[in-house]
A = this chain, B = another copy of it.
Amino acid sequence: MHPEIEKRYLAFAQSKKLRQTSQRDAIVEEVFRTDEHFNAEELMDRMKKTGIHPSRATVYRTLSLLTEANLLKEIDLGDELTTYDPNFLDRPSHNHLVCVDCSKVIEFEDDHLETLNECLSKRLGFQAVSQTLRIEACCDKLRLQGRCENLIAARLSGKKLKKRR
């Protein structure tokens, strides 16, 4: 876990007078163990492997806390459930490209976007607070070469692919 995350979490916990519990500690630990996106169900599965089995309610409650602490961000990847993104501390203004074929998610940053956002908001008479850009696209590989390892991997792992809207 990134030391900055830990520091901020501790500060948050202190300010909210949160008690230290094994369940919550384990969840926070697991959430920030990698930089992967996840949903609540996937986190439940990951928790099982750690040996600590917090209830679904506790998982959801902890995710809310981390979101409130601005350590986690709820994002919408175009499916019906909430995805959590633990990478906004490192890259505060990144956005997401989702492959319509394999559901692979790619994070990207672009300075133009920030500028654009500022201009736009100003033009419309607003102060920008946050922006969310989601690009749906299909990968050149699949289109040009007829195969894409992400798609193959997704199918093998039984990952449920996004239904096309």
Tell me the A residues contacting B by CB distance below 8 Å. Answer: 67, 74, 76, 97, 99-100, 106, 108, 110, 112-113, 116-117, 120-121, 124-141, 143, 165
Please give 14 more A-B residue pairs, beta carbons under 8 A apart, in addition to A100-B129, A126-B140, A127-B140: A106-B124, A108-B120, A110-B120, A112-B116, A116-B116, A117-B135, A121-B135, A125-B141, A127-B137, A127-B138, A128-B135, A128-B136, A132-B132, A132-B136
Q: Which residue of B lies closest to A106 (CB)?
A: B124
In the complex, the answer to whether A132 meets B129 with C-beta atoms within 8 Å is no
Assembly of this chain: how many copies? 2
Q: Which residue of B lies closest to A115 (CB)?
A: B112
User: Taking A67-B165, A110-B116, A112-B112 as contacts, is the C-beta distance between A128 and B137 under 8 angstroms?
Assistant: yes
Of B76, B100, B112, B126, which contacts A138 at CB under 8 A? B126
Using Cβ atoms and an 8 Å threshold, which residues of chain B touch A100? 129
C-alpha gap A124/B74 in the complex (Å):
24
